């Protein structure tokens, strides 16, 4: 048998059009039947993953701040210091923010602001949208949360779109225990410095009593760099970010939507 542990990013890497479709579900089951494990390693909040009703082996969520075992039990939670959270909200509170916890996603923004931001990022006019027309991952957000309540949350990840680069650089310099590892340019995704995908993958290997030689990793985003560096047998899709492709050991051609799944099946056969 070849590689048996597969750490994979979801959006832009494993999933098709941000969906975990039947082909992917059946493929991950085939890998399990051969003794393998597909470990979703995502920047998404855990609530956004659970709503897809996946059969997970393990789950790394919120860029590594949350780790769940194969029973769906939380085994690691790296919370942001409350003082750092308060400084973040006071520094950037005039912009729409998202505060991610193990249980949910909370924002100071209204539904209309969340919808407008989502549409603008896709090059669409920011027309009013009722909440039921928002994509499922946005419907997990609780809007209009006052700043004082946001500061009391047990945050594991902080998100902000289109932050002033100099302002963000000054904030991070003043908070050296935090790191910004965005999925893509224009988004800030802040966690504790020890809460990255790479750190989390090594933690899972330790829990399982295995080493990186038995694993492969797949990722396309800036937030996947630590994962791709931590696992020697690492792959970035040819459609991925420049940073991911530079960090990966190999570039994976993407002749179809299921190239990552097919590569996993090749690797487990050895």
Q: Is 75 helix (H, G, I), strand (E, B) or coil?
A: strand
- What is the arithmetic mean of pLDDT over 67-71? 96
Distance (Å, rounded) from C-alpha 256 to C-alpha 157? 33
Encode pLDDT of 144-162 as tens digits: 999 999 999 999 999 999 8
Window from 7-21, 108-122, 232-246 with minimum mean pLDDT: 108-122
Q: What is the pTM of this model?
A: 0.94
Q: E strands of 59-104, at which residues?
A: 59-61, 66-68, 74-77, 97-100
Nearest to 201 by CA among 21, 26, 101, 57: 57
pLDDT of residue 113: 83
Alpha-carbon distance of 123 to 146, in angstroms, equals: 29
Q: Residue 13 above 90 pLDDT?
A: yes
Is the pLDDT confidence value at 132 over 90? no
The overall average pLDDT reported for the chain is 93
In this model, does residue 134 exceed pLDDT 80?
no
Percent of the chain with pLDDT over 90: 79
* pLDDT reading at 116 higher than 80: no
129 confidence band (pLDDT: 50, 70, 90): low
Give phi and psi for 112, each to the nearest 5: -65, -40
- 122: pLDDT strictly greater than 70: no
């Amino acid at each position: 048998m070849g590689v048996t542990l597969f750490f994979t990013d979801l959006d832009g890497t494993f999933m098709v059009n941000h969906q975990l479709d039947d082909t992917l579900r059946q493929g991950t089951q085939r890998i399990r039947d051969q003794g393998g494990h597909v470990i979703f390693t995502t920047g998404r909040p855990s609530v956004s993953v659970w709503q897809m009703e996946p059969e997970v082996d393990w789950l790394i969520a919120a860029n590594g701040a949350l780790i769940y075992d194969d029973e769906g039990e939380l085994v690691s939670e790296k919370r942001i210091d409350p003082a750092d959270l308060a400084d973040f909200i006071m520094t950037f509170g005039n912009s729409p923010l998202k505060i991610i916890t193990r249980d949910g996603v909370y924002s100071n923004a209204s539904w209309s602001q969340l919808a407008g931001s989502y549409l603008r990022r896709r090059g669409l006019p920011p027309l009013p949208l009722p909440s039921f027309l928002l994509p499922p991952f946005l419907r997990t957000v609780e809007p209009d949360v006052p700043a004082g309540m946001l500061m009391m949350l047990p945050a594991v990840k902080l998100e902000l779109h289109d932050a002033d680069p100099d302002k963000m650089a000054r904030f991070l310099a003043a908070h050296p225990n935090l790191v910004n590892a965005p999925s893509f340019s224009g988004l800030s995704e802040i966690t504790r410095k020890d809460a990255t995908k790479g750190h989390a993958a090594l933690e899972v290997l330790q829990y399982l009593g295995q080493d990186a030689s038995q694993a492969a990793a797949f990722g396309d985003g800036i937030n996947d760099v630590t994962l791709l560096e931590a696992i020697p047998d690492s792959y970035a899709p040819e459609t991925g970010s420049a940073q991911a492709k530079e960090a990966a050991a190999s570039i994976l051609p993407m002749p179809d939507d299921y190239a990552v799944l097919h590569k996993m099946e090749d690797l487990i056969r050895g």
